[in-house]
A and B are shown apart, each in its own frame.
Chain A
Amino acid sequence: MKRALTGFVGAVLEAWQELRIHRTRVLLSLIGVAVAVCSLTTVVALGAIVQQANEELSERSSGRPATLYLSAYSDGTGTGGGSGEIDGELMDATWADTLERYDVTYGSRVLSGSQNVGFVDGIVPVGVQAVDQPYGEMHRVRVSEGAWFTPGDALQLAPRLIVNQIFWERIGSPDLATHPTVKLGGQGAQPTTIAVVTGVTPVASYETEPSMFMLVDQFAAVQAADPTGGGGGAGGFVDPFAGGAQTQYEMWVPPALAEPLIPLLQRDFTAALGEGVQVDVFRQDFAQYGDDPFLVTKLVVGGIAVLVLLLGALGLVNIALVTVKQRVREIGIRRSFGATAGRVFFAVMMESVVATVAAGIAGVVAAVLVVQSPWVRDLVGQGMITDFPPFPVDAALLGLVAATAVGALAGLLPALVAVRVKVIDAIRY
């Protein structure tokens, strides 16, 4: 055991000295290895980061795993009303009951609409996403200024707004601590409501229009006061209490509970809403789509990197072979001072490995610098990633393992040549 340790340390030291002596030649062949390791590591790291970014983006749009969506519509055969309308109040009440019954903390109604907002340059209809307070957590809504709705916001008389960056800039980027307000409605002779901006969300680079989040109940109240205030849906009129058709209901539950919950929700809602109402419950988070849109790019760049790595290895083999042949005498001398054949093999092999590992470390460091650079972050994240993931350890490890493997591969041939050296012939003059 003791001998194994000193043997290993000794061989690495020998290899290191050897490299020091041939450093220029070794350095040249190693540039290729370093570049290849760098690109390989970068590709893998970016792949992991892009995937996380995609997940985060899709979580924002369709929820975190597992998010259940519930919708109900009348199929016209029902007994209640007969007109195909579903009672929004009943729907909302059933929803609240259900959340309580199954102890679901994260549930939200989601209603899209439009609301007139008074800016200095006129009244403009602004897209509204009306949600309940838990929505922020459920969709990882990122807030760059201020904060997401608090449970207390629902009790405030003046509606609370979370506006996007464009909206915020349009009102002059005020400090949210000063409780900036905007006027909602006010077209023609309509009354206006004063709303307080409490948070700002960042925008993706492709967004150009102002938009905002409101709490469902506050949105409904504003719309009730001003039915023409921009219009809820395509029809231009929104029944403020019509949950039913327009409103989506979603809940975020532990993935293991999602499947068993679906039939229960279906049963409960069907029972509450009566005959003739079709209730759909389905899951729509990203876990359903396993596709990686960057797969082809990853394969191409990764393939090129592997190729470069192999070319670098070839250069290394070449140099190592040449130096081993020059060192036949030296190997003979070492053997006559007690170096075993195994030791000579290992030391020569280590020369390549130590060299490529050094190059690999340089390549990985370069890859970290590339991936963490603000420019690449912007390109990959599009400004929409909340927690930009740290450099994936897997990618760094892969880079180092690849470098070590290439070194071992490149060292194999020279090492075989080295053990074949006949000591007597090597030291004869």
Chain B
Amino acid sequence: MSLLHLSEVTRTVIPPDQPALTILNGVDLTVEPGDRVSIVGRSGSGKSTLLNLMGLLDQPTSGTLTFDDRPVKSYSSAERDRVRGARIGFIFQQFNLLPGRTALENVTMPLLYASGTQFWRRKAIAAEMLEQVGLGHRLTSLPDRLSGGEQQRVAIARSLVRGPSLILADEPTGALDLDTGQTVMELIDDVATRTGAALVIITHDPAIATRARDHYRLDRGVLRRADAGVGERAAVLAVGGGGAAGPGASGASA
């Protein structure tokens, strides 16, 4: 039983007054509970499009996409929204915090779409989550008063607050400097491990990618496994240095 499965997935768009554009072409991918997946690829290669599909924000043009072994096509639109809210957490490159809302309000937001205890105890749950990402002292801060790293930590807390089984991170360190990126990455890794959630990280930074166990490369809409690629590891060492090699080593040797 897989959490998420893509088989022969194609995504084509027809921009106005232009020929059809195939963004994803025959993508096969399986994500099991607790997996660590990285997808690297150049800008414009279709990474975000793939992530939108995995996050049930978009539907494949052809091929099948299943969540919990159930074809996503068979979900109603509202069901997709509810499954997304309950089971999937997003982390974006640009953080995408709600402007004008405090850190606490931002982390509370996903709980507004929950029911039962999660809804009624949302403040306490959100505060506890911010505590876990080291921002227990910034509950009432507005996003524009927080540093980039802090904003991303708020976003991480927000993605985890409903206890998702899948975390989708789209270039989560892309807007951060190297050191902050490292810390944020470690935090994501850490919370994913602690909650047992599967983690799919999209990045164009090979140093980040090596933290995962399953490595993929997306090239002009075609997804390939990149495990133990020699060139890949060389690139990792060259860019990320020794620090990034540690956690990545286990994945690469597997």
Residues on A facing B (Cβ under 8 Å): 2-3, 6-7, 9-10, 13-14, 17, 21, 329-330, 333-343, 423-424, 427-429
CA distance in complex: A270, B166 (Å): 100
Chain A CB within 8 A of B77 CB: yes
| Chain B residues whose CB sits within 8 angstroms of the CB of A338 once the complex forms | 81-82, 84-86, 110, 113-114, 162
**Count of chain B residues with Cβ under 8 Å from any Cβ of A?**
33
CA distance in complex: A423, B84 (Å): 13
Q: Please tell me if the beta carbons of B77 and A340 are within 8 angstroms of each other in the complex.
A: yes
CB nearest to A330 among chain B residues: B98
Residues on B facing A (Cβ under 8 Å): 48, 52, 55, 57-58, 77-78, 81-82, 84-86, 90, 92-94, 96, 98-101, 105, 109-110, 112-116, 119-120, 158, 162
Partner of A10, one of B52, B101, B119: B119
CB nearest to B111 among chain A residues: A10
Given known contacts A336-B57, A424-B58, A427-B96, A341 and B77 CB-to-CB distance under 8 angstroms:
yes
CB nearest to B112 among chain A residues: A10
CB nearest to B96 among chain A residues: A333
| Chain A residues whose CB sits within 8 angstroms of the CB of B85 once the complex forms | 337-339
Q: Please tell me if the beta carbons of A6 and B116 are within 8 angstroms of each other in the complex.
A: yes
| Chain A residues whose CB sits within 8 angstroms of the CB of B78 once the complex forms | 340-342
Total A-B Cβ pairs within 8 A: 72
Q: Please tell me if the beta carbons of B98 and A337 are within 8 angstroms of each other in the complex.
A: no
| Chain B residues whose CB sits within 8 angstroms of the CB of A6 once the complex forms | 114-116, 119-120
Interface of A is mostly: helix
CB nearest to B89 among chain A residues: A337
| Chain A residues whose CB sits within 8 angstroms of the CB of B81 once the complex forms | 335, 338-341, 343
Q: Please tell me if the beta carbons of B119 and A337 are within 8 angstroms of each other in the complex.
A: no
| Chain B residues whose CB sits within 8 angstroms of the CB of A342 once the complex forms | 78
Q: Please tell me if the beta carbons of A429 and B115 are within 8 angstroms of each other in the complex.
A: no
CB nearest to A10 among chain B residues: B112
CA distance in complex: A218, B69 (Å): 102
Given known contacts A342-B78, A424-B52, A334 and B92 CB-to-CB distance under 8 angstroms:
no
| Chain A residues whose CB sits within 8 angstroms of the CB of B119 once the complex forms | 6, 9-10
| Chain B residues whose CB sits within 8 angstroms of the CB of A13 once the complex forms | 112
- Most B CB contacts (10 A, CB to CB) among A9, A342, A424 go to A424
Q: How far is the CB of A197 from chain B (nearest CB, A)?
A: 70
Q: How far is the CB of B202 from chain A (nearest CB, A)?
A: 14
Q: Please tell me if the beta carbons of B90 and A336 are within 8 angstroms of each other in the complex.
A: yes
CA distance in complex: A335, B110 (Å): 9
